[in-house]
Structures are given as C-alpha cells and as structure tokens.
Amino acid sequence: MATYEIVPNLSEGRDAATIDAAIHAAEGAGARVLHRTSDPVHHRSVLTIAGSASAVLDAAVALAGVAAERIDLREHRGVHPRIGALDVLPFVPLQGGSMEEAVSLAHAAGTRIWERYRIPSFFYAHAAHSPERRLLANVRRGEFEGLTARFADPAWHPDRGDIAAHPSAGAIAIGARPILIAFNIELADGDLSIARAIAKQLRERDGGLRTLRALGLRLRDDLVQLSLNVTDYRATPLHRIVELVRGLARAHGTRVVRSELIGLMPREAAAAAASYYLGVSPPKPESISNS
C-alpha cells in the first residue's frame, strides 16, 4: 500500500488545546501523527502526518474543520505570513506513492473542504493549475488581510470555492510536492533588513540557490531569523546553507546564534550534515538505522 504524508501548517502556536484537537482529528481519520511543533512568536504549528492515500485525505479535511472552528484570523497576529487558519496543506508521496496521486489528493481535499466548510483554496507546487501559482510565496502574497483585494482580481480567483474568503478561516494553500526540509537560522541582530538581505541573496526566486526558499523575519528586538524551505536537500545540503549564512552574516557584522529544524527530515540529510561537521566519510544508506 502506498504511503503519503501531509504537513499541515496551522495558524496557532500558543494554544496547545487547539493543536491537541487537530491531532485527535487526524488520528481519528486513521492517519498517524509523526511529529508536532509549535512556535508562539510565529503563532504557527506544523504537524507531520502519514498514512494511506484515503487516511491522509480524510485527515486533511478533518484538520480544516478543527482550524475553522477554533482559529479566527481576524484576531491572529504572528511574524509568519499566512492566508488561512489551516494555512498550508501539502501532500507528499512517500513509499510507493506517486506525485500524480498526490496531485489528485490535493485537488480532492480542496473540493471536499469547500463543500463541507466553505473555505476556498489555491493549488500550488505540482498541484498548481498555472505557473503563477506554483510558488507558495506568490499564493500567500497579501496574506489574510489582502484576500478580498486578491479575489477581486479575476487572475486570482480561488481554485476551489467562490471568490469570498471564509470570514475567520481565510483560504488554504493546498499543494503536492516532494519532501522538503523546513529549517530556520537565527542571527544575533535585531535589524530585519539584514535578514531580508541575506534571504534575498540565498533564495531561488531572486537568483540564489535554485532549490531554496527563504524569508527574513524578526523574532525579538535583538534576534532575527532566516526561515528556509530546502526543496532538494541533495542538491542543497544543510551544511552548505549554514556555512553560506555564516559568511553572509559576518559580512553584515553579525553571527549565527543557532539553527532549528521544523518537523522531520530524511535520515540521509542528517547523515550528510553529521559527516561534514564530524569529518567522517558519509555512511552507506544500508548503514543508517531505521530505528
């Protein structure tokens, strides 16, 4: 049986009871929750959920219902951009799965969520219907507060649903994509322009690394963050990114404080980073434990 993963990003990072309810809904649909992480500054939580095609589809629809019931974006404030209570919903093929099926699941989720909860959605990445919607950053531009203006533009009507955003839950970016690594790097500086400048130098859409998405965010008055999505960890290994950021940070008169993994990552990526920093030969795939 093919296995798929969903990695829902919920616009709630402070109320553990809401995330507990989301996990209960996903597990009640027959999927397995592998990991959860919440950040109160981003005001965002990321779940990693796996199961059969039908289980992750049912879990995705159930999660949308929990988010719509418990999250009101009219009162939501966090540093991370968002358009919806259930903000991002990617479907990822794992063992035995195919991208074609992941696209079908993404489209089915959009349809079922609209029919049940009246929340519109945009399709991005491999599920996109147009090149302009492939990049998540394009879909999320203007955030929740800009949805009314965006829906007024015929070029940005939702892929599922009518042109009225849900009043409190907004819209959802639903996609199909390969495995990616969500990875943050913090800098010992409060100057947001430094983080944004480094992000612009690094990210693909501004001519940087071809498989990297990057945002600069302020966490505190003395701390900024590079929020990174590594879309091909073999082409752009984590240690390369970290060392590039170290050099760019020094050029701006600051330094790296720490890095942070959001969700899970493949063992191969962890082994490559450990190999680089420990100075040992990369382990063969069969020598990496599955436990």
What residues act catalytically?
Answer: 80
Cβ pair 169, 71 in contact under 8 A: yes
Region for residue 279 given its phi and psi (left: phi exceeds 0; alpha: psi -120 to 50; beta: otherwise):
left
Quick one: tokens of 188? 């010992």
For 37, half-sphere exposure in the C-beta direction (CA atoms, 13 angstrom radius) is 13
Rounded to an integer, what distance in angstroms lies between the CA atom of residue 105 and that of residue 111?
A: 10
CA angle 269-128-33, nearest 5°?
45
Q: Do residues 52 and 30 touch, judged by C-beta distance below 8 A?
A: yes
Burial annotation 19-41 (CB, 10 A radius, 16+ → b, else e): bebbbebbbebebebeebbbbeb
Coil, strand, or helix at residue 63?
A: helix
Sequence-separated (6 or more) residues with CB below 8 Å from residue 108: 57
The Cβ of residue 194 has, within 10 Å, a number of other Cβ atoms equal to: 20
Q: What's the CA gap between 123 and 137, in Å, rounded?
A: 12
Q: In Å, how far are 175, 205, 234 from 282, measured between CA atoms?
A: 33, 31, 13
